[in-house]
Every structure is written in structure tokens, then in C-alpha cells.
Structure 1
Amino acid sequence: MAPGLGIFAAIGAGVVGAVALVPVALGAIGFGPAGIAAGSVAANMMATAAAANGGGVAAGGAVAVLQSAGAAGLSGAATAAVASAGAAVAGVGAAVVGWLRR
């Protein structure tokens, strides 16, 4: 396989992996379709955000956005952002591995 093809394959895997794993990760930390799971990382984040905001969770804040994604899935814009981040990380990783093999 040509060196460039390996980087492209890694970028593709990074895109697919990131888009597939983000919803799984959100569920694992407690952001789910039924709401925030009691005793989870998400519940701790919500409690911290509420304490910092005088008892409420700010609309558009990190906890609200993550819960929305956990309940409804990623929007088109969020999917594009996650895919771009996955591609960037995988591309850099593949380039570094290629450079180290020299």
C-alpha cells in the first residue's frame, strides 16, 4: 500500500469511528434518550452546572447540548464537526506513524 493510501484509510476510519462512537460515549456517561441517568458523570455535570448558574442549567450550555445529542442524536452540523475531528486526529496519527517508520 502506498504511504498516501494508508493516511487516507486512517482518515476514513477516523471519520467513521468518531461518528459511530460519539453516541455510544454519550450514553456511557449518562446522556440518554430517557434523560440524564442518576449517579452518572452526566448527573454530576448537571449538578455542577446548576450550582454555578443559581439552580438551573443554561440553555445552550454544554450539559444541555450533550443531553440533546444523547436524546435525539447528533445534528448534521454536529456530525460534520465530529467527523472532521476524527479525520484530523486519525490523519495526524497516521502521518506520525509513517514518519516514525522511516
Structure 2
Amino acid sequence: MQARARATQSLIAFYTGDYHDALAYAQDALRRAGNSPHRIRLTINGQARALARLGDRYGVDKALNHPFTALSDYPSSSQAARASPSARTAKPEQQQTRQPPT
């Protein structure tokens, strides 16, 4: 919950143009996120985006390399859906289906 609060603060700071605070909040959110898969989102949407606005290309590259290597630590969405208790017990009419774009 603390990580989400910091992520929200980072988002607000970013969109109000305070990129230094946005970066600081994003980094604090990452420290508080533990091993959550939300770390990937926090790194890209929080840390890397703020670093980009601050002109830190090296920092952006470094921040973006981490999520791509960390993706292998988490199951794909189809694997997670199969492992989810709600996905196994939901009735077919309760399951959401995606329609391909037309």
C-alpha cells in the first residue's frame, strides 16, 4: 500500500512538472514494493519517465534494462490466469473474453 501511495505521488509530481520529486517518489515506491510485479511498472512509469524528463539518458537506459530482465521472474498473464483460483472456479459466463480489434 505504501508503494502505491508513493507511485501516485510520483505521478502527480510528474504531471505538475516537478520531475525531481517524481523521481524521488518513484525510487521510494520501488524500495517499498518488495518483490511485487508492480516494480516493473514503477520502474518504467515512474523512475525512467522522470529520468527522461531530467535528461538523464544513462539513467533511463539503466532503469529500462531492469524490467526487461525481471520479466522472466514473473509468470505470463496466461500462466497467471491459469494459476488464479478465481480463474479456475469462475463459471464460463463469469469469465471475461477479449474480442480481437476490428
Is this a same-fold pair by TM over 0.5?
Answer: no
Relative CO higher for 1 or 2, CA cutoff 8 Å, sep ≥ 6?
1
Scaled by the length of structure 2, the TM-score of the pair is 0.27
